Amino acid sequence: MRPREEIQFTKEEVVPMSWRKLSVLLGAAAYLVLAFVITAAVLLEDHPRDGGSPKVFQKWRLMDLQTQPVNWLILGDSSGDTGVNPEIIEAELGGAALNLCTLAPMLVVNDAWMLEEHIRRVGKPRNVVIVHVYDVWRRKTREMLPMLHNVPRPWRYWCELEPTVDIPLADQFQTLILTLLPPLAKKRSLSNLISSKFLEVPDIADIGYAIRKKGFIASSFARASPEERKRIRLHVVDVAEGHLRQLPCEGVAPSEENRRALLRLLALSKEHGIQLYIVSSPLYAGLWAKTEFQRRYKELEGELRGLIQSSGAPATYVFDDPPLYELDQMETVDHVVGDAVGDYSLRVARTIAVHRARR
């Protein structure tokens, strides 16, 4: 029997680590991370952050791409985004039109911010059309919080633009992190960029589409199946009932945030000689048929008219009553679809034309 050979272990040499070497190693790692963050920031500049709404980013980015003021700047929420076609405004009223409407949770505050920025960047538009659902006016800052990081502006921009808004510290910190770390804020776009081998990234925010359509985002309702159309009609009725239930609890009076935003819009209108038109969104006729709803709606309308008249600004509240549409013309209680979009756009343009003729 052969004697068992002894196992020879490889001798491991540990290279001594000096503070200088450790500093170089950590510095190199930090440099690579910083380079990655900066590169991602540059490559993904035109792409929205995850979460919130790409549409808010889309419309702000579209505004930033403008090189001259327009004749008709359309601001507001999604009822105007899908309901006011700039091409119809141009055909009826003349001059270039741009639709920068975003979403209701951004309140009227976003309108004031966008108008201020548009004036600062390229000059004053000749006319501004503000389109909002009645339900926007009562809303408060807390609804803006999930979308604040979608506005492509430096951190704490909400303290620089007017009206300023008070944001909870936790939300400020979250927005700061997303601002400092684009790879973290734009994981979806970064993933698509890597998948394409750094050749191209899908236009997640549809900015190219918005440019071609002057900001107008058509509803997809026209492509809905018969079953989907039936479901949407039931949805409109359910939402209308929900609006009626919330009236005694929520009311319709403008929140302090929206009141200050409207006053800011009126101040900019007066300062720069911009004609301002406040426009009611389309409305489901079945909701308007309720007496209590009409009473509350008229209360809101009266308060808005009072603010406009006392401001001395060249501003007009356009409709005496909201433009009404039937169930099969609506996507929800305040969003028109199909041929009703063209009809609503025409009614907005022609009613504005009547007010202009009276001046």
Residue 288 maps to a domain? yes
Q: Does a structural domain hold residue 286?
A: yes
In a domain, 10, yes or no: no
Residue 164 Cα distances to 110, 118, 351, angstroms = 11, 17, 33
Residues 252, 116, 180: CA angle, nearest 5 degrees:
95
Structure tokens at 334: 């305040």
**pLDDT digits 0-9 by tens, 219-266:** 777 677 888 888 989 999 999 999 999 887 777 899 999 999 999 999
pLDDT in tens, the chain (359 residues): 555 556 555 666 656 667 776 676 667 666 555 555 555 555 445 555 544 578 898 999 999 999 999 999 999 999 999 999 999 999 999 999 999 999 999 999 999 999 999 999 999 999 999 999 999 999 999 999 988 988 989 889 999 999 999 999 988 887 777 666 554 445 455 555 555 544 555 555 567 767 778 999 887 776 778 888 889 899 999 999 999 998 877 778 999 999 999 999 999 999 999 999 999 999 999 999 999 999 999 999 999 999 999 999 999 999 999 999 999 999 999 999 989 999 999 999 999 999 999 87
Domain membership of residue 277 as a residue range: 52-152+205-358
Distance linking the first and last C-alpha atoms of the chain: 118
Instruction: Please report the DSSP string for 153-202 in residue order.
Output: S-TTGGGTSSS-----HHHHHHHHHHHH-HHHHTHHHHHHHHHTTTS---
User: Is pTM beyond 0.85 here?
Assistant: no
Pairing type for strands 275-280 and 315-317 reads: parallel
Q: Give the CATH number, domain containing residue 270.
A: 3.40.50.1110
Query: Strand pairing partners for 336?
Result: 330
Q: How many structural domains are present in the chain?
A: 1
- The answer to whether residues 97 and 86 touch, using CB atoms and an 8 Å cutoff, is yes
Residue 42 domain-assigned? Answer: no
CA distance 176 to 154: 9
Identify whether 249 is part of a domain. Answer: yes
Domain presence at residue 23: no
Helix axes 256-272, 109-122, angle to 10 degrees: 30
